[in-house]
Structure 1
Amino acid sequence: MDVRNCRTCGKLFNYLSGPPLCPTCMNALEEKFQEVKQYVYDHPKAEMHEVSEVCNVSIGQIKQWIREERLAFSDDSVIGIDCEGCGATIKTGRFCKACKDKLARGFQELYPKTEDKKKIKDFKDQAKMRFLDQSERIQKD
């Protein structure tokens, strides 16, 4: 059992996973998220500092929700964050489409291609040991 102090209020609670927040503070944060989400939906042209002031949420928390892909903005919105790969402005997530594609290609190169898989399978089939039983040995003699 992992007991921790809440990052917000300081109360002790049984920590399971995620941010170190007690259930009360976690519920309050979720309510703030719903408030921010509704405000952004109602005011799509709002800037980040405006959303922060109206909803009484830090800009850092808004950016965290964007990086977690809980908040997304339309292409015509002025709100955006920098891609962690190249620095381009994105509306949600951690990486732009080009960086995501680059990462995906890098991961694909780690796995053998289909023809390489076939060669490996053929080699494994050839390398199997075979045991002859008594009747097969007599027939060969």
Structure 2
Amino acid sequence: MGEVRNCPTCGDLFNYTGMRDVCPKCYAKEEELYEVVYKFLRKRENRAANVDRIVEVTGVPSSLLYKWVRKNRLQRALFPNLGYPCDSCGKITTDGKLCEECQKDLKQNLREFEAAQEFREQIAERDASYHAKK
């Protein structure tokens, strides 16, 4: 059973079942725009177009293009210059939610946190054994 939500595009109520994030009316409009974009990209000379070029030629909002790339409707293997913004810094990425740089930063921060946590545990152990010997 779905839940009733407001469409983020038009504001109408619709039954959200987890399949589509917009109402049926907006979904139909998105599908029409997808056909326009796909027709543009099918031409050999347009396959290397980036998001800015596609927006310029088709008039389709970049947010929809990013959505389609994220959902693999516009596949990177077929259209190599397409990507979507990193959730952290906004830099264009092609895999996951974070770009490589933000992934590295996050991993480094986790390593530092774990090292600090380990250091605090060692100090707590030392203090506990010191007080136990007294």
Task: State whether residues 44 and 74 of structure 1, in contact with CA within 8 Å, keep that contact through their aligned partners in structure 2.
Answer: no
2:88 counterpart of 1:87: no
5+ long unaligned stretches in structure 2: 84-91, 102-134
Secondary structure at the counterpart of residue 53 of structure 1: helix
TM-score (normalised: structure 2)? 0.52
The one-letter code sitting in structure 2 at the alignment partner of 1:41 is R
Quote the residue 2:74 is aligned against: 71
Query: Identity percentage over the alignment?
Result: 32
Q: Which SS does the other structure have where 1:21 is aligned?
A: coil
Tell me the equivalent position of 2:131: none
Moved beyond 4 Å, runs of 4+ = 73-77
Unaligned runs of 5+ in 1: 89-141
- The 2-side partners of 1:58 and 1:6 are apart by 17
- Across the aligned residues of Structure 1 and Structure 2, the Cα RMSD in angstroms comes to 2.7
* Inter-partner Cα distance in structure 2 for 1:47 and 1:64: 14
Match of 1:59 in 2: 62
Question: What's the offset of the Cα at 1:57?
Answer: 2.0
- Match of residue 121 from structure 1: none
Give the number of equivalent residue pairs.
Answer: 88
Normalising by the residue count of structure 1, what TM-score does the alignment of the two structures yield? 0.50
Q: Which residue of 2 aligns with 1:114?
A: none
Distance 1:18 1:74, change over 3 A: closer
Query: How many Å apart are 1:46 and its aligned residue?
Result: 2.1
Considering only CA atoms, is the larger Rg found in Structure 1 or Structure 2? 1
Sort the Cα spacing of 1:41 and 1:4 in 2 relative to 1 into closer, same or farther, 3 A. Answer: same
Specify which structure has the higher proportion of helix. 2
Query: What residue is the counterpart of 1:132 in the other structure?
Result: none
